[in-house]
Structure 1
Amino acid sequence: MISSAVASVLSADMLRVIDVPTPYLVTDLDTVADRYAAFTTALPGVRAHYAMKCNSSPEILRTLADAGAGFEISSIAELRMLQAQGVDPAGVLYSHPVKAPGMIAAAAGAGLFRFAFDSPGELAKIAENAPGAACYVRLRVDDSTSVFPAGNKFGTDLDEAYDLMLLARRMGLRPYGVTFHVGSQCQSTGAWRSAIRQAGALLERLLDEGIELTMLDLGGGFPARYGAGEPSIEQLGEVVEQEIALLPYRPALLTAEPGRFLVAEASVLAAKVIGRELRGTEHWLYVEVGAYHGLMEPMQSPGGWDYPMSSSVAEHAEQPTLPFTIAGPSGHATDVVGYAIPLPAGLTVGDVLYFGSAGAYTLAYASNFNGFAPPTPVFVGGVR
């Protein structure tokens, strides 16, 4: 079945009458707005800055801007996209911890003033290209309970974070805040509990140096619903509020960087079956969209990826299922996006598969690899 979050608008009956050739990714903008409202209700007082790397479609950016969201960027190109939608750079967070010097200068020139960092080298670049800027340090926290851990690519430990904030002050920068990332699609409320406590330890140590931080940024990792087991946003909100109450003080600005949570459940990917084969005892389906055309995340996830799925053929709902291996259309041997996926036994060439909760990273990762077109974006609902 398609994700319950989109079933009311993107029902199977509606999907079957969309007059767009497959493959396409249809997004309900009202669901995007609803997810934002759910986030702000569950985490009152926390300002949501959408992590636009997740899906930077102008329609989504406009929907979230109209709803009151802030934004988080990783490049100057992303900032330019926001400016095209009328977003003030002064309200944007530049949370990528390693930035090209020219991008720092361009962002500061546009009016952006808050920059993340996690090393002395990054501080030097910020001090040179954005003198006097507000800086927030990224802590390295436990991300082992996420589907996509961040590993050691970014972040620093508590002791070094303390030293770096003192260094930032000496360099004429403004020690502004602390951030972290518990890993994408985090499966445990305990990850936020532990990370906020680490941030609290830094807040307390810096007080002894006369530094009171303005911002605590809870980062990303807020999970969307794909199958079962993900903590709800309400559960996460309770944990966050409990831990913030235990901090040595409540920073004036509480922020977070949700991405997947806001957009994943709003979209359904439609892709036609172009081949069905029996290879030994294994049933294979080949579809129009593969890992290199939007479905990269199944390749990145060690345990696979469970999109809620259905078929365009209504009669299939009454059929028994078979375990299928699902492969993309390209000639690359790694272009396989699912194993032992239970789907109707009667699926055949020409049928359309619907992948629910497909709004996160699908378009961002899509390419024309091997000459196969990525999904066409389609938008319903909202004011476009």
Structure 2
Amino acid sequence: MELTIHQTSIPVDSLSQQESLREHITKRTASAGREDVEDPFYVVDLGRLIELYQDWVTAMPSVTPFYAVKCNEDPALLKTLAALGTGFDCASKHEMSVVLDLGVPPERVVYANPCKQTSHIQYAAQRGVKMMSFDNTAELHKTHKHFPTAELMLRIKADAPDCVGKPGFKFGCTTAEGKQLLDTAKALGLNVIGVSFHVGSRCQTPSAYEVALKVAAELFDYGAKIGYQFSLLDIGGGFPGQAGSRDMFHSVASAINQTLASLFSPEAHPGVRFIAEPGRYFACSTHTIVVNIISKRSCDIVEGGEGPKFMYYINGGIYGSFNCVLNDRAAPVPIPVKEVDAIVHQSRLWGVTCAGRDKICDALLPEFEVGDWLCFEDMGAYTISSATCFNGFPKAAPYYYVRENTIDQFKQVHEQ
């Protein structure tokens, strides 16, 4: 599988990220005739994906990651994960098509949307994507009619108390409902192969996985009672992905490993395969967005502090890559690209559109001038995937690089 790194990629080597960005911006602005000199852009560290994958395999060797495509559909990210051997969690015909067209076999794709459009079920059947989730009777009857040989997973409610979005409000069934659905599936002659759940995004409670796994084990036992021999357990997503969240990830992994060993031992449930649906874990810390300050005002609107206060207008916003501020409870932290003074001022960052609600954040920042650059780290998860071109402003373009200490591993992965 070939992957071409962009011609304007940034060779980080031993430089800091800010030094590398300054070097790239200098080259960019020096290019004669470029119309995108001021446009925002992403810096994508593809070598980071390899490190994250290796850390996952070390922390949870028995759980195969199926990357959640909805989190970030960047083609280079998908190609690298495919080359590493991950599976993919898809929610639509389009997402299945993108992944399958990369050469990923259908056995490494799970159609994990519990409520599916009929034509998308038919597409899954045509392309051989058999693994599908369900959580209601209507889905069972649709599947029986349009894809009777599908391999189904019962989706249960499993919201963590601190998760974002509470997926259980929309998807999943209770234990009692699950038993009734399994009875219906059995009566229809459908092949249920296991159980799935999702604790919700940004989970900071390792015990949430333990609670969900206990419910899953009960439904495994009930499935066996009525004649099923389940072979798959999908523990969903919710895994942290910020650069500083490694300790939390390992706490979650440890809780999962211990509970799987206790409830799903080979003796109790022989031949069961474990998968997960991480999105943020792989995408978040690989992407840094870089934006330009396009205007500036001195003002009294920003509250707090002494001395001058400033409002800055950047060429990104909540209708583009910063939609995570509204949709994902993100709190982006601006980092100056240039070297700055230590004196800081109360500041407010506004997005590029004409919408009055297009506010990024308030922050203590040194004084900047129009034309200066800011970067925001941990911006790969649920940002690009939801970005629009509202008001006619383009989406940020990606620029890929591989650090010197990961280049050999990167080449080996893509040569396999």
1:199 Cα deviation after fit: 1.2
Which whole-Å CA distance do the structure 1 matches of 2:14 and 2:164 have between them?
28
Cross-structure match for 2:258: 242
Is 2:349 aligned against 1:333?
no
1:12 Cα deviation after fit: 0.7
Cross-structure match for 1:366: 387
Cross-structure match for 2:188: 171
Which whole-Å CA distance do the structure 2 matches of 1:217 and 1:9 have between them?
40
- The one-letter code of the counterpart of 2:259 is E
Tell me the TM-score normalized by structure 1.
0.91
1:231 Cα deviation after fit: 5.1
- The one-letter code of the counterpart of 1:244 is L
- The one-letter code of the counterpart of 2:250 is E
- The one-letter code of the counterpart of 1:260 is R
Which whole-Å CA distance do the structure 1 matches of 2:345 and 2:221 have between them?
57
Cα distance 1:150–1:347, how it changes in 2: closer, same or farther (>3 A)?
farther
**Aligned to 2:294, what secondary structure does the other structure show?**
strand
The one-character-per-residue Cα deviations of 1:14-44 (angstroms, maximum 9, x if unpaired) are: 1122245330011011101211111121111
2:248 to 225, 232, 237: 232
Cross-structure match for 2:224: 207
Q: Which runs of 5+ in 2 are unaligned?
A: 1-11, 29-36, 303-309, 403-409
Cross-structure match for 1:124: 141
The one-character-per-residue Cα deviations of 1:196-244 (angstroms, maximum 9, x if unpaired) are: 122122122323223231111110110112667x852221111001111
Q: How does 1:103-142 map to 2 (within 5 A)?
A: 103-142=120-159
1:128 Cα deviation after fit: 1.1
Is 2:335 aligned against 1:310?
yes
Which whole-Å CA distance do the structure 2 matches of 1:192 and 1:370 have between them?
42
Is 2:78 aligned against 1:61?
yes
Is 2:339 aligned against 1:319?
no
Cα distance 1:380–1:209, how it changes in 2: closer, same or farther (>3 A)?
same
1:151 Cα deviation after fit: 4.7
1:101 Cα deviation after fit: 0.5
Could you tell which deviates more after superposition, 284-293 or 15-24? 15-24
Could you tell which deviates more after superposition, 86-95 or 304-313? 304-313
Q: How does 1:1-384 map to 2 (within 5 A)?
A: 11-18=17-24, 19-20=27-28, 21=37, 22-225=39-242, 232-247=248-263, 249-250=268-269, 252-282=272-302, 283-301=310-328, 304-314=329-339, 316=340, 318-338=341-361, 340-343=362-365, 345-381=366-402, 382=410
Tell me the TM-score normalized by structure 2.
0.84
- The one-letter code of the counterpart of 1:123 is L
Which whole-Å CA distance do the structure 1 matches of 2:152 and 2:77 have between them?
28
Whether the 8 Å CA contact 2:232–2:272 is kept in 1: the answer is: yes
**Aligned to 1:326, what secondary structure does the other structure show?**
strand
Whether the 8 Å CA contact 1:187–1:231 is kept in 2: the answer is: no
The one-character-per-residue Cα deviations of 1:98-143 (angstroms, maximum 9, x if unpaired) are: 1100111111111111111110011111111111211101111123
Moved over 4 A (4+): 6-10
**Aligned to 1:97, what secondary structure does the other structure show?**
coil
How many equivalent residue pairs?
Answer: 372
Q: Determine which structure has more spread, i.e. the larger CA radius of gyration.
A: 2
Cα distance 1:263–1:106, how it changes in 2: closer, same or farther (>3 A)?
same
**Aligned to 1:240, what secondary structure does the other structure show?**
helix
- The one-letter code of the counterpart of 1:332 is A
**Aligned to 1:224, what secondary structure does the other structure show?**
coil
- The one-letter code of the counterpart of 2:140 is L
Which whole-Å CA distance do the structure 2 matches of 1:300 and 1:139 have between them?
24
* Structure with more of its chain in strand, by fraction: 1
- The one-letter code of the counterpart of 2:400 is F
**Aligned to 1:80, what secondary structure does the other structure show?**
helix
- The one-letter code of the counterpart of 1:46 is V
Which whole-Å CA distance do the structure 1 matches of 2:13 and 2:249 have between them?
19
- The one-letter code of the counterpart of 2:386 is Y
Could you tell which deviates more after superposition, 36-45 or 320-329? 320-329
Whether the 8 Å CA contact 1:226–1:306 is kept in 2: the answer is: no
Which whole-Å CA distance do the structure 1 matches of 2:106 and 2:275 have between them?
16
Could you tell which deviates more after superposition, 142-151 or 77-86? 142-151
Could you tell which deviates more after superposition, 204-213 or 68-77? 204-213
**Aligned to 2:319, what secondary structure does the other structure show?**
helix
**Aligned to 1:93, what secondary structure does the other structure show?**
strand
- The one-letter code of the counterpart of 2:73 is S
The share of aligned pairs that are identical, in percent, is 30
Root-mean-square deviation over aligned CA pairs:
2.1
- The one-letter code of the counterpart of 2:260 is I
Whether the 8 Å CA contact 2:160–2:205 is kept in 1: the answer is: no
Which whole-Å CA distance do the structure 2 matches of 1:135 and 1:79 have between them?
17
1:192 Cα deviation after fit: 1.3
Whether the 8 Å CA contact 2:240–2:281 is kept in 1: the answer is: yes
**Aligned to 2:173, what secondary structure does the other structure show?**
coil
Cα distance 1:116–1:334, how it changes in 2: closer, same or farther (>3 A)?
same
Whether the 8 Å CA contact 2:42–2:397 is kept in 1: the answer is: yes
The one-character-per-residue Cα deviations of 1:49-78 (angstroms, maximum 9, x if unpaired) are: 000111112111110011111111001111
- The one-letter code of the counterpart of 1:202 is L
